[in-house]
Chain A
Amino acid sequence: MMNRVEILKKSAINAVIGILLTFPITVIKVNTIDQEITWRWYMMGLVGAVVLIISFFWIRQQERQNSGSTFKFNESKLGLKYHSIMSKPGVTKSVLGSAVLLIVLIPFITTPYTTSIITSALIYIILGLGLNIVVGLGGLLNLGYAAFFGVGAYTYAILNMNFGVGFWLALPLGGIASALFGAIVGLPVLRLKGDYLAIVTLGFGEMTRIFTENSDKLTRGASGIANIPKPTFFGHAFGYFGSTRYIYLIAVALVIIIIFIVWRMENSRVGRSWVAMREDDIACESMGIDLTQSKMTLFIISSAIAGVAGVLFAAKNTFINPQSFTVWESIMILCIVVLGGKGSVRGVILGALILILLPEYLRAFQQYRMLIFGFLLIVMMVFRPGGIIQNVRKIYKIEGEPTNE
């Protein structure tokens, strides 16, 4: 194990390398129109300092992990206290109850702006939960998830524009359309594994976006569809404030329903077959599980969830265009799942709240958002591949002490 001075020395070397490596991009800025060059020498100091700090913690963490002395929440003092409180009878219920109460009250005690942002976070929670089924439970990587989201949003927008279909009818229809799209994409795709699947889903996602951008008649191309109506309550339309609150409550309800569905699926026969498939597909197949069928259900259910989220998104924003459904949107949803914890519902919720709310409230940090997310993805994969809240596999214990009788 290295001591601090050694780590600091190594980090200093890394800082120098970092300065050299980033020199042309960070220091020299070229204005090709006026043919002027700006030298930003202060960048060298900045880059050096940032690399030094990151490198110090990086190496220290690596050393700790190698020697096995990492921080474990469940064994720490705070963790033990948390578990002792939570295990008291009735505590879980009352915590959950007050949480639900707080969530329902949010739109009535905060500004519409806050409500609207939290609604976006809720939409991302739905998307995260949907993608989590594929990535977390099934172990398949779908990089075109935003396309399914887009199919849902466009289903509502197009049906409304042409036939005046309302939100409540569009909600299931969006889900169904997206599920159908998932089935069509799934047919050729699901024979593939791992990396290939990732790239092909990315390809399908981009193809969908290109078609949407170019079919002017159906989707109004790149300019998008505006004036999508907000949801009504049995024919009663709300004003601006009312509808913001109303959409928020719909989003909360949908999140709860989807959490329930996911939770039931996870522990069902189908859900367990997904996990088995993730762990070892050959063993899984030899146990009599039809891989194609189980992958197909996985894909369709996750697409349907994205479709529902899409309808909600279209209703909330009242305007959609293809730019909302690019690869980077898919990757953003993937970040939520990976950061929060693959396969864990609580993790996904936490991930969406962090990634959507934090940049909204830290404006200065907004510009660096994607840079930091990219870095976070690497850090998570290197140090904590399971995410912040790691999914714990269910362990079946046999009740009762073994007896010697």
Chain B
Amino acid sequence: MDVGYFLKLLLSGLTRGSIYALIALGYTMVYGIIKLINFAHGELYMLGAFTGLIVASLMSYSGINPVLSLIVATIIAIIYSSAYGVAIEKIAYKPLRKSQRLSALISAIGVSMFLQNFVLLFQTSDFLSFPNLIPTFKFLKPVENYLSSAQVLIYICTALFLIGFTILVKFTKTGKAMRATSQDSKMAQLLGISINKVISFTFLIGSAAAAIGGVLISSQVGQINFYIGFIVGIKAFVAAVLGGIGSLAGAVLGSFVLGLVESFGTGYISSNYEDLFAFVVLIVILTFKPAGLLGKSEKQKV
């Protein structure tokens, strides 16, 4: 067995996992609070990538320092994606909070369709190349065959985001309100928590994470189009289900497991079936352990 090849697949699996984790967090948080699969979450990742690309190209064509461009592009992408996330919730989900869950899901599919075609019509259906802005880290020289600077950047950003996010949820007042709402939204409301604010905030954080993922992965892969969000969104959802939907630690664990499965699957089995592994994992997990790796199985009350 080729150790180098194995190592390469392992590291690229971790990269995939990091990106899935950033997106899966949004899914699982939204599900935890309003019990809705936000089908359009992948589109926020795509919108983040597009906004990032536009800003980054604007800046780099006018000769601004690449690192600065990358940082500014990421920040603007975060702002825009969060704004979209909050707007979507207000328009398409809020009026449906009391109706059937099927209605909300169909509405989410509508949002996804709308956003994809919005970008397709106003931008382009072709692949756009993302400017190469990631600096080359000198200390990676000895291992450059296995590990690129972009990958290191993705690991670092994901780790920082996850740490920050854990602190937010565990130790701040907003985090407490979020946890309370997800446990029992009626009771939380009685105790003076503004549910609407909490839900908006959840969408905001989730979309911000998706935007970070979008900009990072596009600057690594180098090209994007309007369709990138859909399949990644579904895979991140699979990751969230795998970890146990509603559980934040589960989402991260599930993402890394899925990332590794995909990476080794494409590396050792066939790259034609790249998109297949996620669905196989999904079907297996839902058949044998529907609550996911870290999820608690809900008891049904009559």
Q: Compute how far the CA of A203 lies from the CA of B241 in the bound complex, rounded to whole angstroms.
A: 13
Q: How far is the CB of A242 from chain B (nearest CB, A)?
A: 38
Q: Compute how far the CA of A194 lies from the CA of B103 in the bound complex, rounded to whole angstroms.
A: 11
Q: Compute how far the CA of A30 lies from the CA of B103 in the bound complex, rounded to whole angstroms.
A: 37
Q: Compute how far the CA of A378 lies from the CA of B104 in the bound complex, rounded to whole angstroms.
A: 9
Judge whether A111 is part of the interface by a CB distance below 8 angstroms: no
Whether A378 lies near B107 (C-beta < 8 A) is yes
Whether A24 lies near B100 (C-beta < 8 A) is no
Q: Compute how far the CA of A17 lies from the CA of B86 in the bound complex, rounded to whole angstroms.
A: 12
Q: Which residue of A lies closest to B96 (CB)?
A: A381
Whether B110 lies near A35 (C-beta < 8 A) is no
> Which chain A residues lie closer than 8 Å to B283 at the CB level?
188-189, 200, 203-204
B57-109: which residues lie under 8 A (CB-CB) from chain A?
A: 57-58, 61, 76, 80, 83-84, 87, 91-92, 95-96, 99-107, 109
Whether B290 lies near A192 (C-beta < 8 A) is yes
Whether A25 lies near B113 (C-beta < 8 A) is no
Whether A376 lies near B110 (C-beta < 8 A) is yes
> Which chain B residues lie closer than 8 Å to A15 at the CB level?
none
Specify which of B106, B114, B275 is in contact with A338 (CB 8 Å cutoff).
B106
**B253-285 toward A: CB 8 Å interface, digit per residue (1/0)?**
000000000000000000011011011101100
> Which chain B residues lie closer than 8 Å to A338 at the CB level?
106
Judge whether B203 is part of the interface by a CB distance below 8 angstroms: no
**A361-405 toward B: CB 8 Å interface, digit per residue (1/0)?**
000000110110111111001100100000000000000000000
Supposing A32-B129, A35-B61, A385-B103 touch, asked if A202 and B234 sit within 8 A by C-beta, the answer is yes
Whether A206 lies near B237 (C-beta < 8 A) is no
**B107-127 toward A: CB 8 Å interface, digit per residue (1/0)?**
101111111111101111000
Q: Compute how far the CA of A282 lies from the CA of B300 in the bound complex, rounded to whole angstroms.
A: 10
**A3-46 toward B: CB 8 Å interface, digit per residue (1/0)?**
00000000000000100011011101110110101000001000
Specify which of B95, B117, B279 is in contact with A371 (CB 8 Å cutoff).
B117
> Which chain B residues lie closer than 8 Å to A141 at the CB level?
102, 105-106
Specify which of B47, B92, B96, B272 is in contact with A214 (CB 8 Å cutoff).
B272
**A179-201 toward B: CB 8 Å interface, digit per residue (1/0)?**
00000000011011011101110
B213-254: which residues lie under 8 A (CB-CB) from chain A?
A: 230, 234, 237-238, 241
Whether A368 lies near B121 (C-beta < 8 A) is yes
Whether B282 lies near A30 (C-beta < 8 A) is no
Q: How far is the CB of A401 from chain B (nearest CB, A)?
A: 38
Judge whether A253 is part of the interface by a CB distance below 8 angstroms: no
Excluding A210-B276, A368-B121, A376-B110, 5 further A-B contacts by CB distance (< 8 Å) are A30-B53, A204-B279, A381-B106, A382-B95, A385-B103
Q: How far is the CB of A116 from chain B (nearest CB, A)?
A: 26
Judge whether A62 is part of the interface by a CB distance below 8 angstroms: yes
**Interface CB pairs A-B, < 8 A, 5:** A21-B84, A210-B272, A331-B109, A371-B117, A374-B110
Supposing A25-B47, A32-B129, A192-B290 touch, asked if A198 and B105 sit within 8 A by C-beta, the answer is yes
Specify which of A21, A25, A203 is in contact with B50 (CB 8 Å cutoff).
A25
Whether A24 lies near B51 (C-beta < 8 A) is yes
Judge whether B297 is part of the interface by a CB distance below 8 angstroms: no
A contacts, CB < 8 Å to B: 17, 21-22, 24-26, 28-30, 32-33, 35, 37, 43, 62, 135, 139, 141, 188-189, 191-192, 194-196, 198-200, 202-204, 206-207, 210-211, 213-214, 282, 327-328, 331, 334, 338, 367-368, 370-371, 373-378, 381-382, 385
Whether B105 lies near A30 (C-beta < 8 A) is no
Judge whether B128 is part of the interface by a CB distance below 8 angstroms: yes
Judge whether B152 is part of the interface by a CB distance below 8 angstroms: no
Q: How far is the CB of B275 from chain A (nearest CB, A)?
A: 6
Q: How far is the CB of B23 from chain A (nearest CB, A)?
A: 15
Whether B282 lies near A377 (C-beta < 8 A) is no
Q: Which residue of A lies closest to B300 (CB)?
A: A282
Q: Compute how far the CA of A21 lies from the CA of B106 in the bound complex, rounded to whole angstroms.
A: 24
Specify which of B110, B123, B241, B275 is in contact with A378 (CB 8 Å cutoff).
B110
Smallest CB-CB A-B distances: 6 pairs? A377-B110, A374-B113, A374-B114, A203-B279, A381-B107, A371-B117
Whether B117 lies near A370 (C-beta < 8 A) is yes
Specify which of A199, A206, A211 is in contact with B37 (CB 8 Å cutoff).
A199
The listed residue with most A CB atoms (<10 A of its CB), out of B102, B112, B278, is B102
> Which chain A residues lie closer than 8 Å to B102 at the CB level?
135, 139, 141, 194
Whether B111 lies near A206 (C-beta < 8 A) is no
Whether A37 lies near B241 (C-beta < 8 A) is no
Whether B286 lies near A192 (C-beta < 8 A) is yes
Whether A377 lies near B109 (C-beta < 8 A) is yes
Whether A378 lies near B114 (C-beta < 8 A) is yes
Q: Compute how far the CA of A196 lies from the CA of B112 in the bound complex, rounded to whole angstroms.
A: 18
Q: Which residue of B lies closest to A203 (CB)?
A: B279
Judge whether B54 is part of the interface by a CB distance below 8 angstroms: yes
Whether A21 lies near B80 (C-beta < 8 A) is yes
Whether A24 lies near B61 (C-beta < 8 A) is no
Q: Compute how far the CA of A189 lies from the CA of B121 in the bound complex, rounded to whole angstroms.
A: 36
> Which chain B residues lie closer than 8 Å to A207 at the CB level?
276, 279-280
Q: How far is the CB of B56 from chain A (nearest CB, A)?
A: 9
Q: Compute how far the CA of A30 lies from the CA of B238 in the bound complex, rounded to whole angstroms.
A: 33
Q: How far is the CB of A2 from chain B (nearest CB, A)?
A: 16
Judge whether B55 is part of the interface by a CB distance below 8 angstroms: yes
> Which chain B residues lie closer than 8 Å to A328 at the CB level?
113
Whether B83 lies near A21 (C-beta < 8 A) is yes
Q: How far is the CB of B53 from chain A (nearest CB, A)?
A: 7
> Which chain A residues lie closer than 8 Å to B238 at the CB level?
199, 203
